[in-house]
Structure 1
Amino acid sequence: MIDFTDIIGHEDIIRHFKSSIELGKISQGYIINGETGSGKKTLTRALVKTLQCEEGGTEPCNHCKSCLQCETGNQPDIVWVTHDKPNVISVEEIRDQVNSDIDIKPYSSRYKIYVIEDAQLLNVNAQNALLKTIEEAPSYAIIILLTNNLDKMLQTIQSRCIVLNVKPVREHDILDYLMNELKLDKQKADFCMDFAQGNLGKAIRLATSDEYKEIKENVVKFMRHISDMSVDDMIFAIKNMELYKLKVSDYIDLMMMWYRDILMLKVSNNPGRLMFKEYYSDIRKQSSHISYEGIEKVLKSMDKAKVRLEANVSFDIVMELMLLTMKENC
């Protein structure tokens, strides 16, 4: 069952929600912003379940009819907006699922709640249609937008919503979860924690992959041999990595860990602090060839690649630009 006590981290957002519920000052519009896997959906599920709980507290009771319906996804007064196309939420979908429905009073609950995941995909017309609805929403209506790119949301939408930015989860909290809940050994838990950079969902995604070992080995093989590979070979290798079902951005994050190891070795000369400890000799060799400026350029190019991929820029173009930077500085 999902409630606030199950959530790792995000104490500031949970405090805000609980205080708003206690004071009866729930906003009719929220934007929850954070990268994929950062906890936006879990926070939202806990919030809407609590708001609709028949006992009216700051935690769901988990036994009333509404709480049980939330657990099965059948609460009639919570609408999770869907969209047909993968890269856009259209004005027609907002009109059909939100605007034309919002004046119908709640079936059995205090509120009628609309949740729009991937709100960064709302086109301008859809956002304008939604803006009018937020401005004129009946008192029982709440609209929650989940986005991984706040800049895609119109300022007029942002100004009429409470914007909550999801912060990274503390490293020791992620480590405790991986070791105590997922029963990982310390070495694997440390690796997944470092990979996640404060995103618990990312840590879990890698930790629970049946192909964890193969994923790590493929990235290592790629990083060890980049000086001997052409850019075309490198693009081909990255495309093959997708067979392991992680996102391309996850593979870029794993590569960034390799470069952070190179940087760590250059700074501290301490192999004990490396995440890829078993490949110390390769990291040592590469660290002697690349400058601090080169490492910075590569890491920046990787960050840019992730942003461009989120913006649906051509995969081959994005990878070529990033890999050229890697080749120039290997």
Structure 2
Amino acid sequence: MSKFADIYGHEQIKEHLQNAIRLNKVSHAYIFNGPMGSGKKMTAGIFAETLQCERHGQEPCGTCHSCIQSESGNQPDIIWVHHEKPGSIGVDDVREQVIGDMQIKPYSSRYKIYIIDEAEKLTQQAQNALLKTIEEPPAYGIIILLTTNADTFLQTILSRCVRLDFRPLRDTLVTQYLQEKYDLTDYECRFATAFAQGKIGRAVTIATSKEFAQLKEEVMHVIRYAKEMTTAEIMAEVKNIANYKLTIDDYLDLMAMWYRDVLVFKSTKDSNALIFKDEMSLLAEQAKNCSYEGLEDILKSIDKVKLRLKANVNFDLVIELLIMAIKEAM
């Protein structure tokens, strides 16, 4: 069972939560705010398990009945709120899983703890419904909102919750975690650390996920062959990339990292600063053949794609124009 000591970094947050437990000053509502993969979910789980632990210490003991239930995901008084619609958490989700359920006293524990992941997806109606419960909770009720953007919450929600901000960690700490916990090469650690930008959970996904490895290979396919692609091949590639709509930000970030590497190597000829060291020959070839202006145009095109996709511009058209921009610049 994980403990607070297993959370890398975020020392002030850990200290705050453990002091609240020790002094019996636990709030009825928290906002854990920070980017995806920054440790919010792990911290919320450990906090909840500690609060419910029958030994009443500052860490979950791992051996009591409650801890054993928590470890197996069957602690009835720790409720992870789910939602059917991927893009929003509606008022019905909140009423059924939080507001109505909280009227029932805890089954076996001191508290009933509700953890709402992706809470930035709470609709305004859902937030308004939740507000009364946050304002007047039963003594045993605790709500933890996990979000990548606390600014989406109503001011009345923000003012009634304890907000804890999970900030990016130092790269050295992320690398240390990967080296200690996983059997990875130096290159794999370095690449995951660079891409994760201070988020340990993100780094773990990058280093261990087969899906991410496949995504990276798809990006490299376009990078390798865009220059020679015919119109028909570009259209086929666009259809293929459409399979990655849910992870298109990662796709574009990988592509941007590549062309920044090319630009850095073209400017400095220093391979030590590069992320894609395993593709050194291709990288050097593109640095030689592409102009500074061409590389800057590609990077600007990637930024434009991100903005256009957020504005719901036609996906296929935007990606087609990006590949064309790469083809022309190379």
Structure 1 and Structure 2 fold alike (TM over 0.5): yes
**Number of the residue aligned with 1:137:** 137
**Number of the residue aligned with 2:31:** 31
Contact 1:305 1:319 in 2 (8 A): no
Contact 1:231 1:323 in 2 (8 A): no
Matches within 5 A, 1:1-330: 1-210=1-210, 214-229=214-229, 236-237=236-237, 240=240, 247-277=247-277, 278=280, 279-285=282-288, 288-290=291-293, 294=297, 297-298=300-301, 300-301=303-304, 304=307, 308=310, 315-316=315-316, 319=319
Aligned length: 327
- What is the root-mean-square deviation of aligned Cα atoms in Å? 3.1
Q: Bigger shift: 278-287 or 151-160?
A: 278-287
Please list every run of 5 or more consecutive structure 2 residues that lacks an aligned counterpart in the other structure: none
CA deviation map 1:275-297 (0-9, x unaligned):
22323323413653436864663
CA deviation map 1:145-200 (0-9, x unaligned):
11122232222211111122221122122212222321111112111211211122
CA deviation map 1:44-101 (0-9, x unaligned):
1111001111111211111111111111111121111122222222111211111112
TM-score by length of 1: 0.86
Contact 1:115 1:144 in 2 (8 A): yes
In structure 2, do the counterparts of structure 1 residues 108 and 188 end up closer, same or farther at CA, with 3 Å as the change threshold? same
Letter paired with 1:260: R
**Alpha-carbon distance between aligned partners in 2 of 1:133 and 1:281, rounded to the nearest angstrom:** 59
**Alpha-carbon distance between aligned partners in 2 of 1:36 and 1:230, rounded to the nearest angstrom:** 37
Please list every run of 5 or more consecutive structure 1 residues that lacks an aligned counterpart in the other structure: none
Q: 1:258 Cα shift?
A: 0.8
Q: Secondary structure at the match of 1:32?
A: strand
Contact 2:90 2:125 in 1 (8 A): yes
Q: 1:250 Cα shift?
A: 1.8
Contact 1:114 1:144 in 2 (8 A): yes
Letter paired with 1:156: T
**Alpha-carbon distance between aligned partners in 1 of 2:109 and 2:218, rounded to the nearest angstrom:** 51
TM-score by length of 2: 0.86
**Alpha-carbon distance between aligned partners in 1 of 2:244 and 2:70, rounded to the nearest angstrom:** 32
